[in-house]
Every structure is written in C-alpha cells, then in structure tokens.
Structure 1
C-alpha cells in the first residue's frame, strides 16, 4: 500500500473545464504567434508586407477583445472537496 497518492498523468475534469473556458484566449494568442512567425519568415523574402502587419494587428486586437470578455465573466464557483 502506498502512503502517498500516485501522480496522475491526466488532467482532472476541473482542469479540462478551465482549459475549455480559456480556449478562446489560447487560440487568439496562437494567432498572434503565427502572425509573428510569418513576419520573421517574411524578412527572408524582402520584408513583411502591409498585409502581414495588418494580420498581426488584427490578431493582437483579438487577444485584447477575448481577454476582456473572459475578464468580464463572473468567476466560476469552486467546489469544496
């Protein structure tokens, strides 16, 4: 018999719910990262175009918008174990 609980490799349902709740923000941040990578790659091809810069600005604006929406949500009630 183990004295200490064995480590669990899988996320709990509460952790999965938290990830799902924050997924819009995660997705928006991934869009910013993708736009930044495109800017870096464009440097090898004559530099970023105005479209590349617009893509980055829109992705950054989306992060701000989604973060504001998440912050405005009421805090979830935590279950007491």
Structure 2
C-alpha cells in the first residue's frame, strides 16, 4: 500500500521569502507607465485588424505609438538621472 504524503517543496514554494523586495516593486512601479502605454498600443493595433483600415484607426495607433515613445523617453531620462553621479555643468 502506498502512502499519500505532501511534498514539502510544493507546500512551501510560495513562502514569505519568495516575495518581491521593495527595490523590485519600485522598479516595477517605475516601468508601469511604459508597460501600460505598450498595452494601449497593442490594443489599438488589435482593434485595427478587425476591419478595413481607416483614418480613425491610423490616428489611434499613431497617438498610442507617440505615448509609447514618450514613456520610453521618460524612463530613459529617469534611468540616466539616477545612474550618473555628480554630473557635468
């Protein structure tokens, strides 16, 4: 007869020490505007695939793309601002 037992690794796979650190959560929070802008761009592209191409869809995609570029610029500027020490005049 085989005994049924729990596997300790499976039970404790999501223990407290496996949670993201505060630094990781801060990094996710900093990247969230870019992630949301990319999701909006993807949504606009998916909507445009459902029917023949028109000017409204093209405008929606163009605006979403511009928001992605702005979010990337902001993220790059934040990263550049935090990584340089001292700075030049």
Aligned residue among 15, 32, 35 for 1:23: 32
**Alpha-carbon separation, structure 2, partners of 1:16 and 1:62:** 23
TM-score by structure 2 length? 0.66
Question: Radius of gyration: which is bigger?
Answer: 2
The 3-state SS of whatever aligns with 2:68 is helix
Give 1:34's aligned residue. Answer: 43
Where structure 2 has 5 or more consecutive residues not aligned to the other structure, the ranges are 1-14, 84-89
Alpha-carbon RMSD: 2.0
Alignment of 1:1-81 (within 5 A): 8=18, 10-42=19-51, 47-73=52-78, 74-75=81-82
Separation in 1, partners of 2:33, 2:64: 12
Query: Runs of 4+ in structure 1 displaced over 2 angstroms?
Result: none
> What is the aligned residue count?
67
Q: Could you give the per-residue CA deviations for residues 3-42 of structure 1, whole angstroms, max 9, x where no partner exists?
A: xxx771x322211110101111011101110011101122
Structure 1: runs of 5 or more not aligned: 1-5, 77-81
Deviation at 1:48, TM superposition (A): 2.5
* d(CA) in 2 for partners of 1:24, 1:71: 12
